[in-house]
Structure 1
Amino acid sequence: MDLLPFDEYVRSLPRKRMSAGVLIRDDAERVLFVVPSYKEHWDIPGGVCEDGEAPWRTARRECAEEIGIDRSLGPLLVIDYVPSDGRMPEGLAFIFDGGRITADDAARLKLTDPEILSVQLLSLDDAAPRLKPSLGRRIHAALAAVQAGEAPVICEDGHPVTG
């Protein structure tokens, strides 16, 4: 059996994209959603992990950049394997607990990122038509993890994996 030289072996390893988001909610369990300018579906604060950036750092950075909230994150709630959809390669999506916000505080957020048009506090059911279905499932898993105190939830395309 011929072995590849180490550097060639490393170059042959698969690469996965990663993203990290932050679940921020109010006392009524409504979720803070961002309305992006660059895509049709709504999202939670977050984004793509930059090269060499850990997901928890991405989540905090993106939250600060997009909605001006820069605070320590709570626990990891969801790790989701996102399969390739033909356009985007497979990857991993993380959701961290961003804690609570009041409706008044959400209304006073200073949005300085041109990528974000507005924020909305909505129940997941009310927001669902505006979300990619896989993100809706991922947020549902994150909310269930918070309520049950059992995190992180491992998902595949937003579906919790059991067993």
Structure 2
Amino acid sequence: MNAEDARDTSLEGRLSRPGVRLESVGNGIARVSWSAELQAQGFEAASAAVRDEVAAALDELKQARVEALVDPDDLLGTRIATWAGLQREGVMRGALEQDGELRDRVVFARLRTDAPIHKSRGFRALLNSFLPRKRAIAQMLVRDAEGRVLLCNLTYKQDWDLPGGVVEVNEAPHVAVAREVEEELGLDLTPGGLVLTDWLPPWSGWDDAVCLVFDGGVHEASLAERIVPQAREIRTARFCTLQEVHSLCADFTARRIDSALANLDSGGSSYSESGRPR
């Protein structure tokens, strides 16, 4: 990350660490950056200099927030920001114009109210901010007495799928699947045990995800008559034969359903990848 060594006039009054620049970008908000020369010294030296500057900005200059914008491809810059105690907050798309193009930047920041990083709570928060987070999807396998499976015709894709959806942050998967079924179909169903854990690789613009399939039990076919589809996401929903499952669903969804049904028959649970048992 390139930076001028001179201090922004709004924060002048104290000497900046060599190679580190601090500028005001708002009321009580400062942005820290560092020179290529400092970064070339390695992440330990650079992160120590940036960490000291961040601490001074928060403690001495009474800034409420210190942030840094790092090129997503700059792995060393990412390490420097992290070891300086800045928590990763996300990606700001088109944050800067460079060579006539808008470029993304990863936003790192530290607040004056953040727990000290030498304390366990502060260190855990720092780790939590940049460790990988995987999307979780919870689905329900609902059957009728004839062995048919409840499928949804979704508005945002052509193929059919099991009822369910994305697990929200800090939401238990079994709570998520019951919520999704109630929101999207108007059905109050209590999920049973987990019958399949299926990993989905990156596909068609989606990142990878873990799909958890819960047993939705066996119901009368008349259950389908009580369905009230959420118009924004569900065109219709109905019980389908296994032949229809393979006709209406994407191949990996059909494999997932096959694996889940096999586990129900055996009374167990298993792990698969795109529906293929491992």
Match of 1:109 among 226, 229, 232: 226
Number of aligned residues: 159
Match of 2:179 among 56, 61, 72: 61
Structure 2 gap ranges (5+): 1-42, 45-78, 86-122
Distance 1:52 1:26 in 2: 32
Give the letter aligned to residue 94 of structure 1: L
2:274 is matched with which residue?
157
Point out the structure with max Rg over C-alpha.
Answer: 2
TM-score by length of 2: 0.53
- Judge which range, 85-94 or 2-11, deviates more: 2-11
What is the Cα deviation at residue 124 of structure 1? Answer: 2.1
Distance 2:276 2:194 in 1: 17
Match of 1:76 among 194, 218, 223: 194
Identity %: 34
Q: CA RMSD in A?
A: 1.9
Match of 1:140 among 258, 261, 269: 258
Q: 1:21 to 1:9 in 2, by over 3 A?
A: same
**Matched residue of 2:226: which SS?**
coil
2:128 is matched with which residue?
10
What is the Cα deviation at residue 105 of structure 1? Answer: 2.5
Distance 1:66 1:11 in 2: 32
Q: 1:28 to 1:112 in 2, by over 3 A?
A: closer
Match of 1:97 among 205, 212, 215: 215
Give the letter aligned to residue 230 of structure 2: D
What is the Cα deviation at residue 86 of structure 1? Answer: 5.5
Greater RCO, CA 8 A, separation 6+:
1
TM-score by length of 1: 0.88
Distance 1:91 1:60 in 2: 19
